[in-house]
Amino acid sequence: MTDDQKEKEAEKRKVLAAIVEQFVSRASHRPDELRQFARLAGDLLAFVDDEGAAAVAEPLCRHPQTPRNLVLRLLERGGAPARIALRMAAATPQSLLFAFVERGPIEMAVAVAGRADLSRELVAKLLARGDPRILRALAANPELRLDPPTLKLLTEAARDDFVVARELLGRNPAGGASEALFLFATREERAAILVGACRAAMLAGAIETPPRQDELAEELEILAIDEDHEWFVAALAAALDARKDRVRALFCDESGEPLALALTALGVPLERANRILLAAGRPYSADVARLGALRELIAATPYRAAASIVAAMTGVTRQDRSPSRRAQTQDEPMSQAAAWRKAAPRANAPTPARKSDGLGRIA
């Protein structure tokens, strides 16, 4: 592009910006003014580059009377102008929104996810694509109505996505949704989640006491002492009937609170749970004050409350907890751990299978 062409391009951008600024300065316009503006702005949009079009796209899309043909011009350009129109323009036809969500590039669907006027049907189509970028955009959309189906799907994604989890926690979701995000919560948020779970347990009435899991507790302690962290996670996942990757995240949490709650939910006796936490080889294992706080957490948390939080974190509901579920989990080592627990010889100091079995270790 020659200097003369660059100068003409810059002049057109200035003229377009000026007439758009004049248009948006007034809340309403007469029909003849709208027709004149649509014609003039449409001609200028055809001659400016994407940067010039993007510069006027936002004020155009925010104005309630922006002619639809100008919105369509922005969509035709693609790139940043189209993304702005998809996110902000009220005049964008619903049929086009559905088309971009179902068949368009991911970045265009992400733009649609940021709209303030999303219908339930459009949200369902966005969720159906399942792309993490779309889920993050939905979670970050302050205008999105979190009805139960939407909240359930976003919570499921949040268990494995820090960004989605933090966005949802910022919106203070109720009940089980916040419990599912315990791993990603701040200290204050965790305290609130624990209080809510304990209150719900008390309101539930009858006290439910878990059966003592002495055999499981002994095996977990042996694995902790042996520093065989991968087998420890596999055995814990088998006991919880949960995905091994989620139980690994629970185990690796540096506060120790999720593991303490898991041991409580499994009915591991307090003293045995203390020894497991001490031998776990995590940062808190050498912190006397932290271990004392975890002991208090175990002693003070009702079984029902701990079970509710752990089930929410791992994505396992009570009706899911059946022997057949283990075959449906995503991690084969989980079922291996269950088999090992049954087959391992019992002795005064049993030694679990070692690294020759092919499993790695957690640092």
Tens digit of each residue's pLDDT (9 = 90 or more) over 119-129: 989 999 999 89
Please say whether the beta carbons of 161 and 136 come within 8 A.
yes
Domain ranges of the chain: 1-91, 93-173, 214-357
Contact 340, 236 (CB under 8 A): no
| Residue 293 burial by Cβ neighbours in a 10 Å radius (0-12, 13-18, 19+) | middle
Give 105-151 pLDDT, tens digit per residue. 999 999 999 999 999 899 999 998 989 999 999 999 998 888 888 88
CA pseudo-torsion sign 157, 158, 160, 164: positive
Residue 126: both structure tokens together: 């966005």
Which pLDDT belongs to residue 362?
A: 55
Sign of CA dihedral 128, 130, 131, 133: positive
**Distance from C-alpha of 169 to C-alpha of 146, rounded to nearest angstrom:** 12
User: What tens digit of pLDDT does each residue of 269-284 get?
Assistant: 999 999 999 999 999 9
Q: Does the structure show a pLDDT above 50 at 333?
A: no
State what percent of residues in the chain have pLDDT above 70.
84
> Which range has the worst mean pLDDT, 231-245, 257-271, 326-340?
326-340
Confidence at residue 330, expressed as pLDDT on a 0 to 100 scale: 40
Between 86 and 362, the more confident residue is 86
Burial class (CB in 10 A: 0-12, 13-18, 19+), 329: buried
Task: Give 153-181 pLDDT, tens digit per residue.
Answer: 888 888 889 999 999 998 887 666 889 99
DSSP state of 171: T
Which of these, 290, 279, 303, lies nearest to 257 by C-alpha position? 290
Instruction: State the DSSP code for 211.
Output: P
pLDDT band at 204 (very low <50, low <70, confident <90, very high): confident
Q: What is the DSSP string of 8-55?
A: HHHHHHHHHHHHHHHHHTSS---HHHHHHHHHHHHHHHTTS-HHHHHH
- How far does Cα 239 stand from its chain's mean position? 25
pLDDT surpassing 80 at residue 348: no
Mean pLDDT of 288-309: 94
What is the pTM (predicted TM-score) of this model?
0.72
**Number of CB atoms found within 10 A of residue 33's CB:** 13
